[in-house]
Amino acid sequence: MRGLFLLTIGLSVSTCFGQQLPQYTQWSWNLFASNPAHAGIKECIDIRTLYRIQWVGFEGAPKSGFATIAIPLSSKRRQFLSARHGMGFKFETDEIGNFSTQRFNIAYAGHFNFNKTDRLSLGIYAGFVQMGYDPNGVTTTSPDPSLQDQGSVFAPDATFGAWYNTENYYIGLSLQNLVPSRWSSIGTDARYRFHSLINAGYRLKVNEQLTLLPGFQLKIPPKGPVAIDLILQSDFNNTLGFGVGYRTSDALLLFFQLKLKDQFSIGYSFDYTLSSIQLGAKNTHEVSLRFTSCKKRNVRAGSCPLFE
């Protein structure tokens, strides 16, 4: 199995036509992790972390995670509906087979209200990414020097993000890997390639306590297949969240989130693999934690944190 997995990775390094960025099931609860336009979008400090174990039992399978902090700047408007600003930090790690990637980014965003509910946010991530190859544990039927040399790439990293929301819907755009740096010490014709991501959602108020939130996320790699996440979330009294979803040709999704003592929350998600990889591993797990400095306040019926 390891040989097949390394062959797959080797092909991806030589062509780089597939997805180069980790994917997360709980993306709708961690939008700042993929879109810098969310830096400081709330008028309080927001800290989040997530860890994902993909294809449990598959040797060399992906392990991904991140930690983010978003901080508002000039949160008290000097004039009605004047612009607000925010900044933030993100550290992300991704490991697949003998390859590992670490990213560190600083984010800045501006938030512009057209009225009390309609808002446009624009942001940018800037930082660096390091990718490494460790040959330990690699065995071949015949000596292959290209697989035995350790390699590392250190390169600049940048992402542009845009976000627009009204009282009842949102749409986001993220343009990732804007710096196409080559992997000179790892592959002969490999580089970071431009990726784009689009997500959107709508809020449906059922009653005073229950809100439904259908949404989707579209991931567009450079030349690989487009992936779509279709999800349906429910939010009960802004305390308990539950959702189901489907990732095209890949997995069924199940996730929930529970808020504890107003400022803490914990999330869990489970992916059941539908693709041919299920012959080796069927299950994927994610666990997330969040802390916010926002204090509990009275909110109108049918509120949802996505639109605050």
**CA end-to-end span of the chain, whole Å?**
47
Quick one: 2-307 is in which CATH superfamily?
monomeric porin ompg (2.40.160.40)
- In tens, the pLDDT along 50-67 reads 999 999 888 888 999 999
Model pLDDT for residues 171-208, shown as the tens digit of each residue: 999 999 998 877 765 555 677 788 999 999 999 999 98
Q: What is the pLDDT of residues 129-139, one digit of tens each?
A: 998 877 666 55
Instruction: For the chain, give every domain's residue range.
Output: 2-307
pLDDT higher than 50, residue 209: yes
Tens digit of pLDDT for each residue in 77-97? Answer: 666 667 789 999 999 999 988
The C-alpha torsion from 46 through 27 and 68 to 40, rounded to 10°, is -40
The confidence score (pLDDT) of residue 131 equals: 87
Q: Which is more confidently placed, 282 or 289?
A: 289
Q: Model confidence at 115, in pLDDT bands (50, 70, 90)? A: confident
